[in-house]
Chain A
Amino acid sequence: MGIVAQHVGKVIGAPPTRILSDITLDIREGEFVSLTGRSGAGKSTLLYLLSSLDKASEGTIEIEGQDVGRMSGEALSRFRNEKMGFVFQFHYLIAELNALENTLLPARKFKQQERRKAHAEKLLERFGLGDKLNRLPRQLSGGEMQRVAIARALVMEPRYVFADEPTGSLDTANGERVINILREANETSGTTVVLVTHEPEFANLAKRQIHLRDGRVV
């Protein structure tokens, strides 16, 4: 089923500024897709539209056959919680929670934190954070925080992971580690990964690249 975008456009602000025009694309389940393009090309905007965080000004986006523009707020919240994971350029960890609690935050929404705890610990161990479960974000390095953010995105075993320049604030070694984790999730669990990056070597690791220029797919 995957994600299907048809004639999607996005206009923001006043006076209106067009960011995206007539985007039609299809991301199949289990794919690893990278969205590339220059700064301002509309990569992140397209990612947020595809992931339902933002609403399209024109066209339709369907995820698993459901038009996200027509889904109720509650249904969309549940859909995001159970089937989507997000990784941003900044980790957005909650400063008051330790690594394990941050990882389990999506599970906590539906009181599944106990059920998902072992899985969260396993993820953090796999990402080299087994001895740092109880550390607060301020006690972790930038790379470690981003790995906790990925563990948080994967804890619900989502079908889709949307990553918006997850290596943007990391050094090369940590950047590679993050990309490898995403690849591993795609290969071992069949998680669909949509990655926004402006780094060609990371974009090349994806099975398919979608290149944007001036708000259009080229």
Chain B
Amino acid sequence: MDSPEKRKDAVIFLAVRYLFARPRQTLLTLLGIFFGSAAFVAISGFMLGFRGYLIDQLINNNAHVLIQAREEFLTEHSLDAPFYGSAYRHIFWAAPPSGRKDSDIVENPQSWYLRLKNDPRVAAYSPQLTASVIFAKGTAASASRLIGCDPLQQQKVTTIGEYVVEGKFADLAVGGNRLVIGEELKKKLGVELSQTVSVSLAHRAATPFKVAAVFRTGNRMTDSLAYGAISDVQNVNGTPNQVNEIAVRLHDHAQAAALATTWAGWGPEKVESWDQINANIFEIFRIQDAVRFLSVGAVLIVAAFGIYNVLNMTVMHKRQDIAILRSMGYNTGEMIWLFFSQGLILGVSGAILGLAFGYGVCLYLQTIPFGGGSLGSGPGHMLVSFQPGIYVQAALLALLSASIASILPARAAGKLTPIEIIRAGAE
């Protein structure tokens, strides 16, 4: 017995002939799938390229888990227990308590250090003290944040060291009021390497800091910050030995959310993972995905309707062919395959051409200069993703729409019996 695959060859041969016999119609139908899949590849490549860069920055540039000073909001019943203990079941306040009950520092950081040190999932951690300060050089001044850190640990926790364009990040370790400043801040202050900047907090005298290094991440917000040795920042802030953040790097960043949730129960501190901190960004990504799939879906639905209409017309026109093929011994399955394969051929070839064109568009997009702004990228050109998943998704979407559009006319063709067609032809 011949295999069904072998017998499919006969109808595919005929399906191809049918398609070539109406080139204009075939081309127009093909273009629908072509544009749909090309648009999906180009839009996804562009969106996911930038997203990948952003996520990469979020994962690599920042801590995977951030342990911050306590942040507590008072609720109507927050003060029930301190005032009345368990004396009453229901307490009604004339003026219910409200407001925040925060702390500026991580209480008992040593216990955190001990836990983090002994946790095998933790790759490194870096205590930080962040202070809001005013940087000044001559008449130029800029309010920004100064992050005090252990320079060696900080480079293990984040990739900040890789973005240093002048000097060395590790030079902070030498001590003696040194700064590593972002390029934006450098521009604002008009300061150069080795020059001195004064750093002041409200109600305190300015302290001179020497610029030891300059970094550039491409992100304006990050490039407006400055880093100093933690002991120097503690002195400026007047809070010796205090920290308000502990940045933690994990061996596996995917565990960050689960660990942050567990660690949050260890103490009063606020513990958040990199993805929890940037939840709003991920929400935007989800909206982007919805827009991406909806817009491309609309193109493919139009293309699918094109295929459906063309195949429906073909089945109508080819009723006599169906009759003669059935009389020759071609069965129902082969009749379905004869028309379904036409849709599939259009889907496959439209998808292949669309993917190739989309790939070409992505290669071109990559060459367009882009960057410098708040969305600026490090390399200075548009970032495009070439993830195989994009191409697989585009191909699947194209094939799915072509298949769904083809199956109905193909099934209609399969249901026709030769005698019905011959009788209809004779009438």
CB proximity of B168 to chain A, nearest CB, Å: 73
Distance between B227 CB and nearest chain A CB, rounded to angstroms: 74
Closest B residue to A95 by beta carbon equals B21
Q: Are B328 and A92 closer than 8 Å at their CB atoms? A: no
Q: Are A53 and B418 in contact (CB under 8 A)?
A: yes
Using Cβ atoms and an 8 Å threshold, which residues of chain B touch A44?
A: 426
Q: How far is the CB of B259 from chain A (nearest CB, A)?
A: 61
Q: Which residues of B contact A152 (CB under 8 A)?
A: 328
A24 and B383 CA atoms in complex are apart in Å by: 81
Q: Is the C-beta of A97 less than 8 angstroms from some C-beta in chain B?
A: yes
Contact A111 to B18, CB < 8 A, known contacts A74-B331, A86-B327, A94-B321 = no
B14 near A94: Cβ-Cβ < 8 Å: yes
Does B328 contact A110, Cβ atoms closer than 8 Å? no
Chain A proximity mask over B322-337: 1 for CB below 8 Å, otherwise 0: 0111111111101000
The reply to whether A96 and B17 form a contact with Cβ atoms under 8 Å apart is yes
Q: Which of B305-352 contact A (CB under 8 A)?
A: 320-321, 323-332, 334
CB distance from A156 to the nearest CB of B (A): 9
Q: Does A108 contact B (CB under 8 A)?
A: yes
Q: How large is the interface on A (under 10, 10 to 19, 20 to 34, 35 or more residues)?
A: 20 to 34
- List chain A residues, Cβ under 8 A from B7: 109-111
Q: What chain A residues lie within 8 Å of B327 (beta carbons)?
A: 51, 53, 80, 84, 86
Q: Quick one: closest B residue to A108, CB to CB?
A: B10
Give min CB distance, A145 to chain B, whole Å. 12
CB < 8 Å neighbour of A109 from B323, B329, B426: B329
A73 touches B21 (CB 8 A): no
Contacts of B325 in A (CB 8 A): 105
Q: Report chain A residues within 8 Å CB of B334.
A: 109
Residues A109 and B332 in contact, CB atoms below 8 Å apart: no
B419 interface residue per 8 A CB criterion: yes
Q: Smallest Cβ distance from B421 to chain A, in angstroms?
A: 9
User: Which residue of B is nearest A109, CB measured?
Assistant: B10
Our pick among A86, A88, A110 for the contact of B2 (Cβ within 8 Å) is A110
A80 contact set on B, CB distance < 8 A: 327-329
Q: How far is the CA of A81 from the CA of B320 in the complex (A)?
A: 17
Chain B's nearest CB lies how many Å from the CB of A39?
11
- State whether the Cβ of A82 lies closer than 8 Å to any Cβ in chain B: yes
Q: Given A92-B321, A94-B324, A111-B6, decide whether A73 and B422 contact each other with a Cβ distance below 8 A.
A: no
* A127 within 8 Å of B (CB atoms): no
At the interface, yes or no: A70 with Cβ under 8 Å from chain B? no
A6 beta carbon closer than 8 Å to chain B: no
Contacting residues of chain B (393-427) with chain A, CB-CB under 8 angstroms: 418-419, 422, 425-426
CB pair A88 B422 closer than 8 Å: yes
* Smallest CB separation, B191 vs chain A (Å): 78
Within 8 A of B (CB), among A91-116: 92, 94-97, 105-106, 108-111
Residue with the greatest number of chain A CB neighbours at <10 A, chosen from B328, B332, B418: B328
Q: How far is the CB of A121 from chain B (nearest CB, A)?
A: 19
Complexed CA–CA distance, A176 and B330 (Å): 30
- For residue B76, CB closer than 8 A to chain A, the reply is no
CB of B9 within 8 Å of the partner chain: yes
Residues of A within 8 A of B321 (CB): 92, 94
- Check B324–A77 contact: CB distance below 8 A: no
A212 to B9, CA, bound (A): 42
Provide the residues of chain B in CB contact with A88, threshold 8 Å.
324, 422
Please, how many angstroms separate the alpha-carbon atoms of A81 and B6 in the complex? 16
A202 at the binding interface (Cβ < 8 Å): no
Shortest CB-to-CB span from B12 to chain A, Å, is 11
The answer to whether A82 touches B329, judged by C-beta atoms less than 8 angstroms apart, is yes
Query: Is the CB of A78 closer than 8 A to any CB of chain B?
Result: yes
Q: A54 near B: Cβ within 8 Å?
A: yes
- Cβ of B83 within 8 Å of any chain A Cβ, yes or no, is no
Q: In the complex, what distance in Å separates the CA atom of A110 from the CA atom of B8?
A: 9
Q: Which residue of A lies closest to B419 (CB)?
A: A54
Q: Are A96 and B320 in contact (CB under 8 A)?
A: no
Cα A78 to Cα B331 in complex, Å, equals: 9
B13 CB within 8 Å of chain A: yes
A79 to B325, CA, bound (A): 14
Measured CB to CB, the nearest residue on chain B to A79 is: B329
Contact: B320 with A77, CB < 8 Å? no
Q: Are B419 and A73 in contact (CB under 8 A)?
A: no
CB distance from B129 to the nearest CB of A (A): 80
Within the complex, the shortest CB–CB distance from A60 to chain B, in Å, comes to 18
Residues of A near B21 (CB, < 8 A) are 95-96
- A81, B17: Cβ atoms under 8 Å? no
Q: Which residues of the partner chain A approach B323 to less than 8 Å between Cβ atoms?
A: 92
A89 to B18 CA separation, bound complex (whole angstroms) = 24
Shortest C-beta distance, A203 to chain B (Å), equals: 19
Cross-chain contact A106 with B2 (CB below 8 angstroms):
no
Known: A90-B425, A92-B321. A109 touches B328 (CB 8 A): yes
In contact, B324 and A97 (Cβ under 8 angstroms) = no
CA distance A204 to B198 in the complex (A): 121
B114–chain A nearest beta-carbon distance, Å: 75
CA–CA, A96 to B20, complex, Å? 9
* A129-144 residues at the B interface, CB under 8 angstroms: none
**Which residue from chain B places its CB closest to the CB of A48 in the assembled complex?**
B419
Which A residue sits closest to B326, measured CB to CB?
A53
Tell me the minimal C-beta distance from B333 to chain A in angstroms: 9
Q: Lowest 5 A-B CB distances belong to which pairs?
A: A81-B329, A92-B324, A96-B17, A80-B329, A108-B10
Chain B residues proximal to chain A, CB less than 8 Å: 2, 6-7, 9-10, 13-14, 17-18, 20-21, 320-321, 323-332, 334, 418-419, 422, 425-426
9 A-B pairs with CB atoms under 8 Å apart are A74-B331, A80-B328, A88-B324, A94-B14, A95-B21, A106-B328, A108-B9, A108-B13, A109-B7
